[in-house]
Amino acid sequence: MINRIVVGAHYGLRDWIAQRATAVIMALYTVIMAAVLLIVRPASFEAWQGIFANGFIKFVTFLFFVSLFYHAWIGVRDIWMDYVKPTGLRLTLHVVTLAALVGYAAWAAAILWRL
């Protein structure tokens, strides 16, 4: 096969917006958690457990982790796109990254709802 330069995948905008939206979600979560920790001032394991027993906190924490992993997916994929040229190797790295991040998300859910 001849090696012609091919561009025009017609995506990128959604990822660009998602990277910004997830950044905002993570920033908001940081503010919410800072406020909660300042108000509750947990000093024991039970107090920390109490915070995360709350359904809302569980939800926003999970949302934070999903945002983090989506954000990381776009950033790490950008690194592969910049520095890894062979298509097969790049695709493999994409799949490995995705698998790891989906695994982390499931792990985060398991930890949160085990409490």
**Is there binding between residue 5 and other proteins (CB under 8 A)?**
yes
Angle at the Cα of 59 from the Cα atoms of 24 and 17, rounded to 5 degrees: 25
Residue nearer to other proteins on the CB measure, 79 or 115: 79
Q: In whole angstroms, how close is the CB of 91 to other proteins at the nearest point?
A: 14
Contact letters for other proteins, residues 66-105 (x by CB under 8 A): ------------x--xxx----------------------
Dihedral angle computed from the Cα positions of residues 32, 33, 38 and 41, in that order, rounded to the nearest 10 degrees: 140
Say if CB 30 and CB 61 are below 8 A apart. no
Please report, as residue ranges, which positions from 9 to 48 form the binding site for other proteins (by CB under 8 A).
Answer: 9-17
Binding segment (CB under 8 A) for other proteins, from list 3-11, 38-46, 52-60, 104-112: 3-11
HEC profile for 43-112? CCHHHHHHHHHCHHHHHHHHHHHHHHHHHHHHHHHHHHHHHCCCHHHHHHHHHHHHHHHHHHHHHHHHHH
Report how many residues bind other proteins under the rule CB under 8 A: 16
Binding segment (CB under 8 A) for other proteins, from list 2-10, 33-41, 63-71, 96-104: 2-10
- The residues binding other proteins (CB under 8 A) are 5, 7-17, 78, 81-83
